[in-house]
C-alpha cells in the first residue's frame, strides 16, 4: 500500500496556480486509474484504488501548503504506513517548467510544504516527485510567482510534466524508486 499526496492550496482562487501542480498531478493520476477522491475530512480529501496492481490512497490535503504535514501525519498514523511508502508530489522553483525529478529522502530544499511534512512525520525518508515551475522572471517575488497561474507558453510544458509525473508514480509503484530515478531523471536531463 502506498499513500500518494499531492500538495497545494485549497480553494478555487489557487486552483490553477504554480503552487498547485501537486494537486494537478494527483488528479491526473486519479483520473488515469479510476480513483475517485470521494472521501473527506477536515484535513484532506482522498480516494482509494489501485495503481500498478497495488493498493493506493490518493490524498489532497485541505490545509494550506505550509501545513500539509498535518494531513500526512494523520494518514500515516491512521493507516499504519511507513514513510518509505509515502510519495509526495510538489512544485519546484529550481527545475525548469516541464521537468520532473524523483528522489527519496533529503531535506526540504526550502519548500515549506515539505518542511511541514518532515516536521510532522519526523522523517525525511519518503519519496518525492518534484515538478518544475521555474524561477520568477526579473525581480518578481517568489511568493507571488508560485501563487500565479502558468503562462500560455508554459501551459504545454506543464501539461507534459503532469503526464510524466503521473507515469513516474506508476513506475515507482511497479518497479521501485531506484529504477524510476534511473528511468525518469536521466530522460528528463536529456530533454526527452
| 127's grid cell | 519519496
How many structural domains compose the chain?
Answer: 1
137 pLDDT higher than 90: no
Domain that holds residue 63: 2-189
pLDDT tier at 188 (50, 70, 90 boundaries)? low
Summarize pLDDT for 157-182 with one digit per residue, the tens: 999 999 999 999 999 999 999 999 99
Give the length of the chain: 192
CA pair distance 4, 52, nearest whole angstrom:
13
CATH number of residue 39's parent domain: 3.40.50.1470
Closest C-alpha to 40, from 24, 60, 26? 60
Q: Which CA distances in Å does 184 have to 34, 85, 167, 172?
A: 24, 19, 9, 10
Note if 19 is an active site residue: yes
Amino acid at each position: 500500500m502506498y499513500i500518494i499526496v499531492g500538495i497545494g492550496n485549497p480553494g478555487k482562487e489557487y486552483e490553477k496556480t504554480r503552487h498547485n501542480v501537486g494537486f494537478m498531478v494527483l488528479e491526473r493520476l486519479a483520473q488515469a486509474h479510476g480513483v475517485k477522491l470521494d472521501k473527506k475530512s477536515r484535513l484532506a480529501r482522498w480516494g482509494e484504488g489501485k495503481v500498478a496492481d497495488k493498493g493506493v490512497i490518493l490524498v489532497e490535503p485541505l490545509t494550506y501548503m505550509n501545513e500539509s504535514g498535518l494531513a500526512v501525519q494523520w494518514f500515516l498514523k491512521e493507516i499504519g504506513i511507513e514513510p518509505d511508502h509515502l510519495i509526495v508530489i510538489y512544485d519546484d522553483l529550481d527545475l525548469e517548467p516541464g521537468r520532473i525529478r524523483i528522489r527519496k529522502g533529503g531535506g526540504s530544499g526550502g519548500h515549506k510544504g515539505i518542511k511541514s511534512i518532515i516536521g510532522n512525520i519526523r522523517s525525511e525518508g519518503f519519496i518525492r516527485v518534484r515538478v518544475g515551475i521555474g524561477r520568477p522572471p526579473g525581480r518578481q517575488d517568489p511568493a507571488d510567482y508560485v501563487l500565479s497561474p502558468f503562462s500560455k507558453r508554459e501551459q504545454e510544458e506543464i501539461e507534459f510534466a503532469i503526464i510524466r509525473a503521473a507515469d513516474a508514480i506508476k513506475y515507482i509503484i511497479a518497479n521501485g524508486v531506484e529504477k524510476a530515478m534511473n528511468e525518469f531523471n536521466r530522460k528528463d536531463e536529456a530533454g526527452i
